[in-house]
Structure 1
Amino acid sequence: MNSTIEAMSLQLTAVRGVRSVALGGSRARGAHRADSDWDLGVYYRGPLDVEALAALAAEVTGAPVDVAGPGGWGPWVDGGAWLSVDGEPVDWILRDLDRVEAVWADCRAGRYETGTQPGHPLGFWSPAYAGEVALCRVLADADGALTALRAQTHEYPERLRRALIDASWEADLSVAAARKSVGSGDVLHVSLCLARAFGVLVQSLHAYERAWCLNEKGALRTASSSSAAPADFAAEVAATLRALDADAVERAGALVAEVRARIG
C-alpha cells in the first residue's frame, strides 16, 4: 500500500492548485493499527481544480467519488474525500497552504483562535494546523514549501505555549457555569460545561509539554501523561463526566484548580 500512496501523492500534485501532499495521522507517527486510515493532507494554493480531483479519485477507486471542495466540510477542516483503495480507507483532507502559513505566523506570535467545526465537539483550535505539519511525513512537495514549514514547526513556539497555558482560566469559568445549572438537573448544560473545562485543560497540558494537540481523539490519554497532570487525571475526568451531579461539579472544580496550580 505504501507504493500506492506514494504514487497517488505524485498524481495529486499534478492537479491544478495542489502544491504538496503529506501523510498524517497515526500512520505518520507509527502508531497505527492494521485497519487505520491513510490520512493524506492535500495542501493547495489559490484556485483548486476540484473536478480534476474527482476524476483522479474515480480513477484510483474505480467508482465515482464525492469530493468536497474548499469549505465543503466546514470553515477549518475545509474539504476532501473518503476513498477506498484496494480495500483500504484513504482520506484526502484539503488544507489551504496560505492559511496554514498564516496560522503558523500567529502561533509564533502567541496568537490562536478556536472555531466551530463539524466533527470537533470542543471546537477546532487553530494550532492544530501547525501540529499537523510538525507531525506529518511529506510525500510530495512541488516547491518545497511544506518541507520548509515542517522544519520550522519542530520547535514549539514559547509564546504559543504561554498563551495556551493561560487559556486554562476558561476551565474555571466553565465549572462555575456548571455549578449554576446542576441544581436544576440540567444535565446537557452541565455535561457541556464540564467537557469544555476538561478540553481546555487538555490543551493547556499539551502546551505545557510543548506537544501538539491535533483534535479531541486520544487527547485525554496524551494529556494524562504530562508531568503536570495529577496521577489520576484521566480517571477523575471520566468519573466526573459519568456522574454529572453536584458532587461531580465540585470534584471538577478541584481538579481544574490542581491542574492550573501545576502548570503555573
Structure 2
Amino acid sequence: MALSDADLTALAGRLITVPGVIGVVLGGSRARRTHTPDSDTDLGLYYRAPLDTVRLGELAVEAGGPGSRVTEPGGWGPWVDGGGWLNVSDNAVDWIYRDVARVQRCWSDAEKGVYAFHVQAGHPLGVPDFSYPGELAVGRILADPTGELATLQRRVRIFPRPLADALVAGLWEADFLIGLARKAVTRGDSAYIAGCLFRLAGVCAHALHGAARQWLINEKGAVAAAGALPGAPDGFRSRVDAAFAAVNNDPMHLTLAIDIAADLVLETTDACAMMLR
C-alpha cells in the first residue's frame, strides 16, 4: 500500500528528532502530485552540520528494516550529497541530504544571476547549483519546527529576474556547440556530435524555463517540460527527438541533425526574447 500523506508527515516528525536535521521536504513527483504507483518518494533532509548520521542510521533501520543504510554527507558526490535508499512498507523512499547553508549560498548566487553546472555522476549535463533553491521552491514542507524553511521557501518561489536573464544569455553556448558539431561531420564522429546535441538541448531547456520564470531542477524530462512551456518553439520536443534520430555515421544524416538543432537554437533565442519582454 502506498504511503499516505499522514505516513510521510509522521516519518518527517521522527526525522527532525535527529541532531542536525532542521526540516524535511517532500520532493519529486509526489510533491507535484504527478507520481505513479512505481514512483519513488523523495524526502529532502535539510540539515545544518554536524549531522548525526549514527542516529539517522538507527532511524533508517527502524523505518526500513535491518538492511537500511545512510551515508555520511558527501557520500553520493559533491552535489547529490548523500542520504539513504530505503524500503518503507514496500515503498521506495529516498532520503536526500541538503545542507541549508549551501541552499542559502546558491540562492544568493541565483539572485545575482550567477550559476554553474557542476560535474556529478549520473548527471551528464551537470547539476545546476540553482537546483538547490529550486527544489525547495517546488517542494512540500513536511516538518519545519523553527519555520526557517518556510521563510526561505517564500523567497525562492519568486524566480529571480537576474537568473532568467543569465540563463537566456547562456544560449551563446548552444550556438557555439553548433559550430563544434559541424566540424565533426567529416570525421563521422557521431558520439561527439550526440554529446554536443545533448548539451545544446539542455542549455535551450534551461533558457526557456528561465525566460518563463520556472524552476528546472532535473535533466530527466527537461526537454518535454521545456516543450510544454507557453511560448516555447513549436514542436520543441519532437524536433529534439528528430535531431537525435538522425545521428549515425552518415555525414548527410549528421548534417541534418545539426541543421534541426541550429533552427531550434535560433527559435529558442527568439522565444526567450518574447517571453522576457
Q: TM-score, normalised by structure 2?
A: 0.92
Partner of 2:61: 58
The residue correspondences of 1:10-89 to structure 2 (distance < 5 A) are 10-89=13-92
Q: How many residues align?
A: 264
Partner of 2:269: 260
Describe the superposition over 1:105-153 as per-residue Cα deviations: whole angstroms up to 9, x where unpaired.
Answer: 1111111121011121111011111111111111111321111111111
Structure 1: where are the runs of 5+ without partners?
A: none
RMSD of aligned Cα (Å): 1.1
Instruction: Provide the C-alpha distance between the structure 2 equivalents of 1:7 and 1:229, rounded to a whole number of angstroms.
Output: 41
SS in 1 for 2:186: helix
Describe the superposition over 1:8-48 as per-residue Cα deviations: whole angstroms up to 9, x where unpaired.
Answer: 11111111111110101111111111221111000000111
Deviation at 1:227, TM superposition (A): 3.0
Instruction: Provide the C-alpha distance between the structure 1 equivalents of 2:229 and 2:138, rounded to a whole number of angstroms.
Output: 18
Aligned with 1:101 (options 99, 104, 112): 104
Q: For structure 1, which segment, 57-66 or 88-97, has the greater mean C-alpha deviation from structure 2 after superposition?
A: 57-66
SS in 2 for 1:41: strand
SS in 2 for 1:121: coil
Instruction: Provide the C-alpha distance between the structure 2 equivalents of 1:38 and 1:168, rounded to a whole number of angstroms.
Output: 34
Partner of 1:157: 160
Describe the superposition over 1:185-238 as per-residue Cα deviations: whole angstroms up to 9, x where unpaired.
Answer: 111111000110011000000111111001111111110022332211111100
Deviation at 1:173, TM superposition (A): 1.1
Instruction: Provide the C-alpha distance between the structure 1 equivalents of 2:264 and 2:208, rounded to a whole number of angstroms.
Output: 13
Instruction: Provide the C-alpha distance between the structure 2 equivalents of 1:227 and 1:33, rounded to a whole number of angstroms.
Output: 25
Partner of 1:232: 235
Aligned with 1:251 (options 238, 260, 272): 260
Describe the superposition over 1:153-179 as per-residue Cα deviations: whole angstroms up to 9, x where unpaired.
Answer: 121111111111111111011111111
Instruction: Provide the C-alpha distance between the structure 1 equivalents of 2:231 and 2:123, rounded to a whole number of angstroms.
Output: 25
Does residue 189 in structure 1 map to residue 198 in structure 2? no
The residue correspondences of 1:108-257 to structure 2 (distance < 5 A) are 108-244=111-247, 245-257=254-266
Instruction: Provide the C-alpha distance between the structure 1 equivalents of 2:270 and 2:234, rounded to a whole number of angstroms.
Output: 14
Q: TM-score, normalised by structure 1?
A: 0.97
Conserved? CA contact 1:183–1:246, under 8 Å: no
Instruction: Provide the C-alpha distance between the structure 1 equivalents of 2:163 and 2:22, rounded to a whole number of angstroms.
Output: 27
SS in 1 for 2:46: strand
Conserved? CA contact 1:175–1:193, under 8 Å: yes
**AA partner of residue 259 (structure 1):** T
Conserved? CA contact 2:61–2:69, under 8 Å: no
Describe the superposition over 1:35-86 as per-residue Cα deviations: whole angstroms up to 9, x where unpaired.
Answer: 2111100000011111111111111112232212211111111001110011
SS in 2 for 1:131: helix
Partner of 2:250: none
Instruction: Provide the C-alpha distance between the structure 1 equivalents of 2:230 and 2:65, rounded to a whole number of angstroms.
Output: 49
SS in 2 for 1:120: coil
Instruction: Provide the C-alpha distance between the structure 2 equivalents of 1:7 and 1:227, rounded to a whole number of angstroms.
Output: 38
Instruction: Provide the C-alpha distance between the structure 2 equivalents of 1:261 and 1:135, rounded to a whole number of angstroms.
Output: 27
Instruction: Provide the C-alpha distance between the structure 2 equivalents of 1:142 and 1:76, rounded to a whole number of angstroms.
Output: 26
